[in-house]
Structure 1
Amino acid sequence: MLNADKGAATSLNGQGLRIGIVQARWNEGITNALAQACHQELLATGVQDADIDHVMVPGALEVPVALQAMAERGGYDALIALGCIIRGETYHFELVANESGAGVTRLSLDYRLPIANAIITTENLEQAIARQTEKGLDAARVAVEMATLLHTLKKS
């Protein structure tokens, strides 16, 4: 059984897994940090660099369509959504956060494919900076753990 402790990445085995990452460019400083932490953690779990596909899209609303294209292409054990939505003065924040999140969840269920959702939503830039590394690490761990779990469940 996998250890649920956040520091348990060493117990995760990503060897042989193929992972797709979709990164939004909007708030690129944050999403680049998310991507860097995520990529490093995937490698730390044993996922090979050649088995990680990474694409960029304009913003969080475009993430689900790129995830869908990857899911339809097939061959992935898990996907990862990376983005950053910072609240502004309009309703746009809620729209983008709700619709991107719903799209990611629907795709995961429709394709029966784990998708780690690391589209962070914060009130301000400082909160985003504080979360960027840990959320990137978490996304990699979730992807590997869920891919492994689904492989195990398919075998039983």
Structure 2
Amino acid sequence: MQDSDQGQPAFEGALDGSELSIAVVQARFNDAITSALASACLAELSVLGVPAEAIRHITVPGALEVPLALQALAESNDYDALIALGCIIRGETYHFELVANESGSAVTRIGLDHGIPIANAILTVENETQAWARAEPKGRDAARVAVEMANLLKDIA
């Protein structure tokens, strides 16, 4: 907890994943980059104490398929948090905007509709250099966000 401006302690979720069950959905498009995201994410989940048997890792073809898998996982009520991993690199057509906007809004909608935290680490970048620079840090961040938000929602309930 941190102090807020009003003197009341701010409420934060803990970074202890030992009691959590988390599913990770990884897009295979731009596979080398998304695999680096996944490796960093899974390693960080382990560091945070999430038991290996409490982690489910699923792959799908691309970023537009991630939300459908997230929705099925959310509907199962088997997970405390979900993680979306992918990489969308700008090209020469409008397709980049379509994929980035649609996947992003769908991920958000699923989390809100099902009341489950979803750490969205679907990278939207200009080029491969940017993607590689973000892959490992964003993979680790996604794991921390999922654990913190799962614990926060449990504490609020």
- TM (normalized to structure 2)? 0.91
Tell me, yes or no, if structure 1 residue 87 matches structure 2 residue 75: no
Q: CA RMSD in A?
A: 0.9
Alignment counterpart, residue 52 of structure 2, candidates 49, 53, 58: 49
* Aligned position for 1:17: 20
Summarize the alignment of residues 70-109 of structure 1 with structure 2, pairs less than 5 Å apart: 70-109=73-112
How many angstroms does 1:103 deviate by?
0.3
- Runs of 4+ with deviation above 4 angstroms: none
- TM (normalized to structure 1)? 0.92
Give the length in aligned residue pairs: 146
The residue identity in structure 2 corresponding to 1:52 is I
How many angstroms does 1:73 deviate by?
1.1
* Aligned position for 2:130: 127
How many angstroms does 1:152 deviate by?
0.1
Structure number with larger C-alpha Rg: 2
Unmatched 5+ stretches in structure 2: 3-13
**CA distance in structure 1 between the partners assigned to 2:150 and 2:26 by the alignment:** 19
* Aligned position for 1:34: 37
How many angstroms does 1:116 deviate by?
0.1
**CA distance in structure 1 between the partners assigned to 2:77 and 2:34 by the alignment:** 25
Tell me, yes or no, if structure 1 residue 68 matches structure 2 residue 106: no
Q: When you count helix as a share of all residues, which structure comes out higher?
A: 1
The residue identity in structure 1 corresponding to 2:66 is V
The residue identity in structure 1 corresponding to 2:156 is L
SS of 1:15's partner is coil
C-alpha offsets along residues 73-132 of structure 1, whole Å, 9 cap, x if unaligned? 111000000000000000000000000000000000000000000000000000000000
How many angstroms does 1:149 deviate by?
0.1
SS of 1:56's partner is strand
C-alpha offsets along residues 40-77 of structure 1, whole Å, 9 cap, x if unaligned? 00000010000000100000000000000001111100
The residue identity in structure 2 corresponding to 1:88 is G
**CA distance in structure 1 between the partners assigned to 2:21 and 2:86 by the alignment:** 21
How many angstroms does 1:16 deviate by?
1.1
The residue identity in structure 2 corresponding to 1:104 is V
How many angstroms does 1:26 deviate by?
0.1
